[in-house]
Amino acid sequence: MTSSNIFDLTGKVAAVIGGASGIGEAVTIGAVGMGATVVCLDVKADAARAAAEKAGGHATSGVVDITDAASVDEALGAIVRQHGKLDIVIATPSINVRKKMLDYLPGEIDRVLNVNIIGNFNVLRSAGRIMVEQRRGSIVLFSSIRSLVVEPGQAVYSATKAGILQLARGGACEFGPYGVRVNCVGPGVVETPLTAPIKANAAWYDAYAAKNTFNRWADPSEMVGPTLFLASDAASYVNGTIIYADGGWLAQDGRFTPPGM
């Protein structure tokens, strides 16, 4: 490995789960641009196919439901059968039922836990089995700034994002001896389909923008660099950690600038 090629993904086979939209679509396009053979996986077949076509290059698509362990095993196993290996797995899906805890209805917490915790566990376990056997690979899960900070209506979502980070750390501990790395990206506020209801409320949107040091939201493309760094050989000694791509949200204490500053 030399300094001129450590970010290059040429020859790597990657699965991007949740690759049909938002951050996942941006990562699919970015990984293809860095030379990877990418399989864009999503629960929505048509959208996954469209994202793969948009990415071009060595991109194909497939269907996966991360809440179904057998579906995840089959989707990732099919990649290995076709390409002979699986170097990178990136999983972006999460859902949010934005409600105060006292307002949660029966079944709503189950929906969030089923996707965010069980779904990401299914991905981590399935990818881990493959990569431990081949003794190499990189898994990147998506946590959030909400793994550290919370606000009203975000308790359950925040708990799951902290849980995803701990799953990644556990995977790093267990898979690391076999040459497999597991890390997380922790976005701040990103303009995706998940955050569209916030964008529709100008006051809410502006308040979130003001919370970070750049006074703006991120574009999904700005999550590509941190994600593919963790996926690449440039991060060969990075394991069990998180990169917060939050525009300085977590660095900034409060929203008031003292007089004279």
For residue 157, indicate whether it is catalytic.
yes
Both tokens of 226, joined, read 């941190």
The residue from 104, 157, 205, 237 that is catalytic is: 157
The CA distance from 141 to 67, in Å, is: 15
CB burial string 220-230: b at 16+ within 10 A, e below? bebbbebbbbb
Cβ atoms 189, 212 nearer than 8 A: yes
Cβ atoms 191, 220 nearer than 8 A: yes
| Sheet hosting strand 137-142, strand order edge to edge | 59-63, 37-42, 13-17, 88-91, 137-142, 180-187, 242-245
The CA distance from 200 to 10, in Å, is: 40
Backbone phi and psi for residue 130, each to the nearest 5 degrees, phi listed first: -65, -45
The residues annotated as belonging to the active site are: 157
